[in-house]
């Protein structure tokens, strides 16, 4: 426009250039003044003197938009009136929740699974998942891991093309253990174990145990070849059982030019040259489940923690998926997005890799766009197989993102927000001698004011700033129907001290009988592993639970040896949870290992039997009583009956001179 304006005034080319240069210089000067000088000047003289008033509308818009975009506006915030002291009455009323408290930490448990159940060097457990199942004794929380194939761990001499792609093609089954029990050595009690998997629990039975698709990212496999696939070690030494893939999820290799094209596409001419591959062989590709899903739906963001499920006798992965954007107006970006919805849940069959994309929020606007573009991709949730929704969990990444934003955006008053008067932090813990934010964890609990226990995700908050570690609030996401997806925040009264995890860690370290025992173990050449410190709400009070594992330097097999429980007034360590809780209810502190439970439901001491027949009968009765107590989740009675059983067996041994 400047050139058009100056052209009539220039009589020749030189004049035109002079005027154009002057116009360009003027343009640059104006751009600099308007783009650089004016905003800073306006900020300095107009905004700074009354910054709050000037920014108030924008702060208000940011608060409203961020809370809407990340679903913070639907959080039900409740104020706790009286956190109080954790006493025997509360412990008794919450016995159902306490019977399913997680005393197993997933990191030591993963190491134990790999030590105890790997069976062969070419298997591997990659992750531990937490879920709940309807078992014989009732609904119970368990930990589960998949025994996947790791062909990279085959002996060097066995890493041939045939072995890696045609023979060693799949993993084998899962391992399951309860979250609340270990054996006498501190090792997990296995509800599903070994190859082939054995279990007494119908809900955990698996019909087809081969795992072709999982977390490990195994290389491609060729099935339906002239070679049988290795399935599992045989019953006799140096023997093996074989199998053949019976699914239809692969790509046909074909013959002639089709086979040449397939070999070229994957960049491996062995597929063309191998005499073991025929036209009916199938190529199994993209066997890492997240990679597989992304090839089909790259527009979905995937949660970082897919989990394994046993559903109607089949092994199935569940992957939470999100519709998202980073362009929601005025909303703050967290983790690359400022709008996130868990609108899709994807299942992947371990055996044939078949995928189903369930639209769990069909009214979500972004998902509706994708559903119009790909109408055959998504399945309505009411068409899901029976029992699938019973295993849905509120996704971890979404919960963590919401918690990180809530630490600031629980402040809805713009002036309070501007002054940062009430900033929160996600509480921290000490794990493996390193201070880190607490990881959100799944647990069974009874929420304040609710009648039954439920499966939920928990995360506590502390004030922002150094050396401010008291607990202010805790956030929970509910995972059980009909309350799935509901978010709550429980706030403690202002001016009331409720210890945070770091303060409880400090109190554990300061308890002489506990710290001295930990020091003694360390001096004896063992490594002490302190598990996650769990914050367990009980009514309006709080229980803290931390497992202690011992691991010999020469043998990396962690054993759960002690359990620490704490309240606002006491810290107790024992070898059993029921013993520790009883001591806590009595107001005791320190190491009470070896103490007998004293609750009213503990069994009475039996009359001393006098003969071998009496001793055998007594042992049988105690075993039967212990099994019945375990079946109803009464671990106090279970522990006492097992102690009485040991006493009867000792008496029987002494009576017979052995």
451 lies in a domain? Answer: yes
112 lies in a domain? Answer: no
Instruction: Say how far apart CA 255 and CA 163 lie, in whole Å.
Output: 22
Instruction: Say how far apart CA 87 and CA 129 lie, in whole Å.
Output: 32
Let me know whether 385 and 399 are in one domain.
no
Let me know whether 587 and 638 are in one domain.
no
Q: How many CB atoms lie within 10 A of CB 202?
A: 11
- 237, two tokens: 């030494």
Q: What is the DSSP letter of 440?
A: P
- 158, two tokens: 């066995």
pLDDT of the residue at 537: 92
Closest residue by Cα to residue 588 from 651, 525, 513: 513
The length of the chain is 658
375 lies in a domain? Answer: yes
Tens-place pLDDT, residues 419-443: 998 999 999 988 877 888 999 999 9
Cβ atoms of 148 and 218 within 8 Å: the answer is yes
Please give the C-alpha separations between residue 463 and each of 406, 460, 604, in angstroms, as whole numbers. 12, 11, 48
Residues 6 or more apart in contact with residue 162 via CB below 8 angstroms: 227, 274, 276
Let me know whether 635 and 488 are in one domain.
no
Let me know whether 429 and 575 are in one domain.
yes
Let me know whether 531 and 409 are in one domain.
yes
Q: Contacts by 415-422 with C-beta closer than 8 Å and gap 24+?
A: 415/52, 415/56, 417/59, 417/63, 418/52, 418/55, 418/56, 418/59, 420/464
108 lies in a domain? Answer: no
Where among 287, 310, 341 does a domain terminate? 287
Q: How many CB atoms lie within 10 A of CB 12?
A: 8
Closest residue by Cα to residue 254 from 279, 274, 223: 279
Tens-place pLDDT, residues 338-387: 999 999 999 999 999 999 999 999 999 999 999 999 999 999 999 999 99
- 342, two tokens: 């868990």
* Crossing angle (nearest 10°) for helices 635-655 and 612-631: 160
- 321, two tokens: 């998926």
- Counting as low any pLDDT under 50, the low residues of the chain are 598-610
Let me know whether 234 and 156 are in one domain.
yes
pLDDT of the residue at 251: 92
Q: How many CB atoms lie within 10 A of CB 172?
A: 23
Instruction: Say how far apart CA 316 and CA 397 lie, in whole Å.
Output: 20
Where among 230, 253, 287 does a domain terminate? 287
pLDDT of the residue at 598: 45
Let me know whether 265 and 348 are in one domain.
no
Where among 256, 287, 318 does a domain terminate? 287
Instruction: Say how far apart CA 511 and CA 215 lie, in whole Å.
Output: 42
106 lies in a domain? Answer: no
Q: Contacts by 53-58 with C-beta closer than 8 Å and gap 24+?
A: 55/418, 56/414, 56/415, 56/418, 58/330
Cis previous bond, 269, omega within 30: no
Q: What is the DSSP letter of 596?
A: P
Cβ atoms of 461 and 427 within 8 Å: the answer is yes
- What's the sign of the alpha-carbon dihedral 84, 88, 94, 97? positive
556 lies in a domain? Answer: yes
Instruction: Say how far apart CA 281 and CA 523 lie, in whole Å.
Output: 59
Cβ atoms of 251 and 262 within 8 Å: the answer is yes
> For the residues of 75-137, what is the DSSP string, one character each?
-EEEE-S------HHHHHHTHHHHTT-----HHHHHHHHHHHS--STTEEE---EEEEEEETT
Q: How many CB atoms lie within 10 A of CB 469?
A: 19
Please give the C-alpha separations between residue 37 and each of 33, 34, 45, 48, 639, in angstroms, as whole numbers. 5, 6, 12, 16, 77
Instruction: Say how far apart CA 344 and CA 456 lie, in whole Å.
Output: 20
- 310, two tokens: 């046993």
Let me know whether 453 and 546 are in one domain.
yes
Tens-place pLDDT, residues 233-280: 887 777 789 999 999 889 999 888 999 999 999 999 999 999 999 999
Instruction: Say how far apart CA 29 and CA 209 lie, in whole Å.
Output: 74
Let me know whether 258 and 404 are in one domain.
no
Cβ atoms of 355 and 292 within 8 Å: the answer is yes
For residues 141, 147, 148, 151, the Cα torsion angle rounded to the nearest 10 degrees is 160
- What's the sign of the alpha-carbon dihedral 328, 332, 337, 340? negative
Residues 6 or more apart in contact with residue 349 via CB below 8 angstroms: 213, 249, 314, 315, 316, 317, 355
Domain residue limits at 225:
119-287
Query: Do the bridges between strand 473-478 and strand 487-491 make them parallel or antiparallel, or are there none, so unpaired?
Result: antiparallel
Let me know whether 177 and 227 are in one domain.
yes
For residues 519, 521, 527, 531, the Cα torsion angle rounded to the nearest 10 degrees is -80
Let me know whether 225 and 328 are in one domain.
no
Let me know whether 499 and 510 are in one domain.
yes
Instruction: Say how far apart CA 65 and CA 326 lie, in whole Å.
Output: 12
65 lies in a domain? Answer: no
pLDDT of the residue at 636: 56
The gap from C-alpha 370 to its chain's centroid, in whole angstroms, comes to 28
End-to-end CA distance of the chain: 109
177 lies in a domain? Answer: yes
pLDDT of the residue at 600: 35
**What are the start-end ranges of the E strands in 181-292?**
210-211, 221-223, 229-233, 240-243, 251-252, 282-284
What is the pTM (predicted TM-score) of this model? Answer: 0.83
Closest residue by Cα to residue 445 from 77, 99, 41, 68: 99
Q: Mean pLDDT, the chain, as a whole number?
A: 88
Question: Quick check: helix, strand or coil at residue 554?
Answer: coil
pLDDT of the residue at 603: 37
pLDDT of the residue at 608: 42
Number of domains in the chain: 5
461 - beta bridge partners?
A: 426, 473
């Amino acid at each position: 426009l400047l050139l058009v304006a100056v052209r009539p005034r220039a009589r020749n080319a030189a004049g035109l250039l002079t005027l154009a240069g002057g116009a360009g210089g003027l343009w640059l000067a104006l751009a600099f003044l308007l783009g650089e000088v004016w905003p800073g000047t306006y900020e300095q003289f107009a905004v700074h003197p009354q910054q709050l008033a000037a920014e108030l509308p924008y702060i208000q818009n940011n608060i409203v938009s961020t809370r809407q975009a990340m679903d913070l506006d639907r959080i039900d915030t409740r104020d706790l009136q009286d956190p109080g002291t954790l006493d025997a009455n509360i412990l008794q009323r919450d016995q159902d929740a306490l019977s399913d408290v997680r005393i197993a930490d997933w990191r030591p448990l993963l190491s134990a699974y790999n030590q105890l159940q790997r069976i062969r060097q070419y298997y591997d457990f990659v992750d531990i998942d937490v879920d709940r199942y309807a078992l014989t004794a009732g609904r119970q929380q368990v930990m589960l891991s998949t025994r996947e194939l790791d062909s990279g761990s085959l002996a060097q001499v066995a890493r041939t093309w045939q072995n890696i792609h045609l023979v060693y093609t799949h993993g084998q089954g899962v391992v399951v253990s309860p979250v609340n029990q270990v054996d006498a050595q501190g090792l997990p009690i296995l509800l599903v174990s070994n190859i082939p998997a054995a279990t007494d629990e119908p809900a955990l039975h698996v019909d087809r145990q081969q795992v072709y698709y999982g977390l490990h990212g195994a290389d491609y496999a060729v099935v339906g070849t002239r070679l049988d696939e290795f399935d599992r070690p045989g019953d006799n030494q140096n023997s093996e059982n074989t199998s053949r893939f019976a699914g239809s999820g692969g790509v046909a290799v074909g013959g002639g030019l089709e086979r040449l094209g397939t070999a070229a596409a994957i960049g491996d001419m062995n597929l063309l040259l191998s005499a073991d591959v025929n036209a009916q062989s199938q190529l199994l590709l993209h066997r890492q489940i997240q990679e597989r899903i992304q090839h089909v739906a790259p527009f979905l963001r995937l949660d970082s923690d897919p989990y394994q499920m046993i559903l109607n006798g089949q092994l199935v992965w569940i992957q939470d998926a999100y519709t998202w954007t980073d362009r929601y107006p005025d909303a703050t970006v967290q983790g690359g997005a400022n709008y996130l919805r868990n609108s899709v849940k994807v299942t992947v069959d371990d055996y044939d890799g078949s995928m189903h994309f369930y639209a769990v929020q069909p009214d979500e606007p972004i998902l509706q766009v994708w559903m119009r573009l790909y109408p055959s991709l998504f399945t309505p949730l009411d068409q899901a197989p029976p029992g699938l929704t019973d295993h849905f969990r509120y996704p971890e990444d979404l919960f963590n993102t919401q918690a990180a934003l809530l630490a600031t955006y629980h402040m809805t008053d713009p002036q309070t927000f501007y002054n940062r008067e009430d900033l929160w932090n996600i509480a921290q813990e000490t794990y493996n001698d390193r201070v880190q934010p607490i990881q959100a964890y799944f647990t069974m609990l009874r929420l304040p004011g609710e009648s039954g226990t439920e499966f939920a995700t928990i995360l506590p908050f502390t004030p922002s700033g150094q050396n401010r570690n008291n607990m202010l609030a805790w956030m929970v996401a509910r995972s059980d129907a009909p309350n799935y997806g509901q978010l709550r925040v429980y706030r403690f009264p202002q001016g009331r001290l409720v210890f945070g995890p770091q303060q409880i860690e400090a109190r554990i370290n300061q308890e002489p009988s506990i710290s001295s025992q930990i020091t003694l173990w360390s001096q004896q050449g063992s490594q002490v592993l302190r598990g996650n410190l769990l914050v367990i709400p009980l009514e309006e009070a709080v229980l803290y639970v931390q497992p202690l594992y011992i691991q010999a330097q020469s043998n990396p097999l962690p054993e759960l040896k002690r359990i620490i429980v704490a309240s606002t007034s006491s810290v107790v360590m024992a070898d059993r949870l029921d013993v520790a809780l009883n001591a806590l209810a009595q107001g005791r502190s320190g190491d009470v290992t070896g103490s007998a439970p004293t609750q009213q439901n503990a069994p009475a001491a039996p009359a001393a039997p006098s003969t071998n027949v009496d001793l055998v009968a007594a042992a049988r009765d105690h075993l039967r009583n212990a099994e019945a107590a375990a079946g109803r989740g009464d671990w106090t009675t279970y522990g006492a009956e097992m102690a009485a059983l040991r006493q009867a067996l000792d008496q029987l041994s002494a009576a017979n001179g052995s």
